[in-house]
Amino acid sequence: MVASDGADKVEAVVFDMDGVLVESEELWDEARHALALERGLVWPESAQRDMMGMSSLEWSRYMHERVGLEETPEQISIEVVRRLEALYRRHLPLLDGAVEAVKRMDERFRLGLASSSNRPIIDLVLELAGLASKFEVTVSSEEVARGKPAPDVYLEALRRMAVAPARAAAIEDSTSGLLSAHAAGMLVVAIPSPVFPPRADALAAASVVLGSLTELTPEIVLSARLVNA
């Protein structure tokens, strides 16, 4: 990472992971859904969308209370993570251009990652992708009080980096993520998920909307301006 000379407003970029670097929402759904079916339970049609952005504590509680799994939320989380790790080790679903985009940003900015994934999943993905050394800080929403759309996970990443929100940009894809980064006071770059497109109000919180990771460059970030700044 090339150090900033301090002349530019943005000094750090914080990536989301699921839906930004890895195409993982369907795999999370597969692992959770399979667990519920094995227990003979009905899977709510809205379950996948409901759980997007939730922390591990929040979505495992949802599965216990709403879906009806008898295991404790902690046990549910451990089992789903075990299944997802197995899926990732067979095939890591990196989005096109993910590795290159991280490397481009690393040439100009300090990098962080703020994800709703569990800590073991974050570490595994970055290890398998060969990107662990690029991120100065990684934070899981299980390490903060509230998951997205609350700003906690982004604020914690910036706290650890000692960077003010107004001097940081977030790369996000989902409604919960976009609202989370905006609530943290960051510049928001949206790369909307085509499978689960964000709501219009969440997209309006973005300073820049891109079609894919291949469009993400330091110049795009440096030329953007905070919404409602």
What residue segments make up the domains of the chain, in order of their start? 12-23+94-223, 25-90
Across 75-101, average pLDDT = 95
Residue 97 has pLDDT above 90, yes or no: yes
Across 182-189, average pLDDT = 98
DSSP label at residue 68 = -
Give residues with Cβ within 8 angstroms of 157, minimum separation 6: 14, 112, 113, 114, 137, 138, 139
Instruction: Write down the residue that tokens 């900015």 correspond to.
Output: 109
Task: Find out whether 136 and 11 touch, Cβ atoms under 8 Å.
Answer: no
pLDDT category of residue 51 using cuts at 50, 70 and 90: confident
What confidence score (pLDDT) does residue 8 get? 55
pTM: 0.87
d(C-alpha 70, C-alpha 27), whole Å: 22
Task: Find out whether 180 and 201 touch, Cβ atoms under 8 Å.
Answer: no
Helix, strand, or coil here: 208?
Answer: strand
Across 159-185, average pLDDT = 97
Neighbours of 226 (CB within 10 A): 16
CATH architecture of 25-90: Orthogonal Bundle (1.10)
pLDDT in tens, 1-45: 544 444 358 999 999 999 999 998 888 888 999 999 999 999 998
Helix, strand, or coil here: 169?
Answer: strand
Closest alpha carbon to 198 in 96, 97, 206: 206
Across 67-80, average pLDDT = 95
Q: For domain 12-23+94-223, which CATH number applies: 3.40.190.10, 3.40.630.30, 3.30.470.20, 3.40.50.1000?
A: 3.40.50.1000
